[in-house]
Amino acid sequence: MRIDVHAHFYPAKYIDCVSRLRGEQNYRIRAPGAAVTLEQRVDLLDRSGIRVQVLSVGAQQPYGADVNEAISAAKLGNDLFAEVCTRHGGHFAAFAALPLPHIDAALFELARALDGLGMLGVNLGCSVAGRPLDDAVFAPVFAELDRRGAVLFLHPVGCGCGTLLEGFDLNFPLGAPFEDTVAALRLILAGIVHRYPRIRIIVPHLGGTLPFLVERLDGSLVGRSQYKPSEYLKRLWYDTVNGSVAALRCARDAFGADRLLLGTDFPHLAGPRFERCVSYVEQSELAPAEKSAVLDGNAEWVLGLTER
């Protein structure tokens, strides 16, 4: 069964709620496919052979200082996603959003979303209100995800690389894969991947720059960390949002084809770029069994929909 693990949905009510939480006015999502209805999206999925698309809020996380507003935003988003999943005949599933940095509230919403709403896992930003995910305050969330053997899908939040990207609007085109890189590596070096081995962590965008840098990281960090990056990176999964056959090959060589999952980043990649998300895997030099695993089998197992 072909599953797209990296896609987004932005209900207007939720975006309005998040914009109030952040104190932003007239906030709108800039995405080529933003005007595509859910019914039209189902047609797109059918034409690409995608049976299920897993929705998440991505960068639009319900993070804010006011606990009640954060709870309201997370609850609204999760309820809207659950409604979509119910209404559209199994074409959609979802990852839950959590009202961080409020731990007790996040744990409550995690249980409600996974147990009550039937969500497939949790979506966290690569950082939370400026804090890295390996901050000790978030340990209870990781402990609960580990207890459940849950899926954790990471996503950049647009913090980029600070002032270095100003003036060129590069926080997502360039900054996002660096957020992926830093977040995943910090989870490894802080020992989170080691201490919570039952969490199935998905890193977007082929892991950012990680496939390219594995050897450099191993060599540079030797003697400085007990957690060797090349060993622990192979314990994570990576979606295929990229479009470059060379990059796909690099990730396959670095992590193994069994660690790669189909992703489209819809509605940010739409039209021919959406179609390319599937076709570039099909047209790659990966072996037929590897292509089948990347496009179909791997995600079923990671999401707990089938036994390996």
- The string of pLDDT tens digits covering residues 102-139 is 999 999 999 999 999 999 999 999 999 999 999 999 99
Confidence bin at 308 (pLDDT 50/70/90): very low
Q: Which residues of 245-281 are buried (b: 16+ CB within 10 A; e: fewer)?
A: eebbebbbebbebbbbbbbbbbbbbbeeebebbbebb
* Res 205: pLDDT: 98
The SS3 of residue 132 is strand
Enumerate residues 6+ apart whose C-beta is below 8 A from 68: none
Q: Which residue has the higher pLDDT, 231 or 225?
A: 231
- The string of pLDDT tens digits covering residues 146-181 is 999 999 999 999 886 666 777 787 888 888 999 999
Sheet with 121-125, edge to edge strand ranges? 3-8, 52-56, 92-96, 121-125, 151-155, 200-203, 237-239, 260-261
HSE-CB at 289 with a 13 A cutoff on CA atoms is 2
* Res 222: pLDDT: 87
How buried is 173 (Cβ within 10 angstroms: 0-12 exposed, 13-18 middle, 19+ buried)? exposed
Say what the pTM is: 0.96
- The string of pLDDT tens digits covering residues 242-281 is 999 999 999 999 999 999 999 999 999 999 999 999 999 9
Domains of the chain plus CATH, in order, are 3-302 (3.20.20.140)
- The string of pLDDT tens digits covering residues 35-47 is 899 999 999 999 9
Euclidean distance between CA atoms 76 and 212, whole angstroms: 39
Q: In the chain, pLDDT over 90 holds for what percent of residues?
A: 86
Calculate mean pLDDT across residues 283-301.
Answer: 96
* Res 142: pLDDT: 98
Confidence bin at 69 (pLDDT 50/70/90): very high
Calculate mean pLDDT across residues 52-68.
Answer: 96
Calculate mean pLDDT across residues 8-37.
Answer: 88
Give the tokens for residue 208. 């950012």
Q: Which residues pair with 239 in a beta bridge?
A: 261
Euclidean distance between CA atoms 229 and 233, whole angstroms: 6
Phi, psi of 11 (to 5 degrees): -60, 140
Contact criterion met (CB below 8 Å) for 137 and 100: no
Confidence bin at 25 (pLDDT 50/70/90): low
- The string of pLDDT tens digits covering residues 76-107 is 999 999 999 999 989 999 999 999 999 999 99
| pLDDT mean across residues, the chain | 94
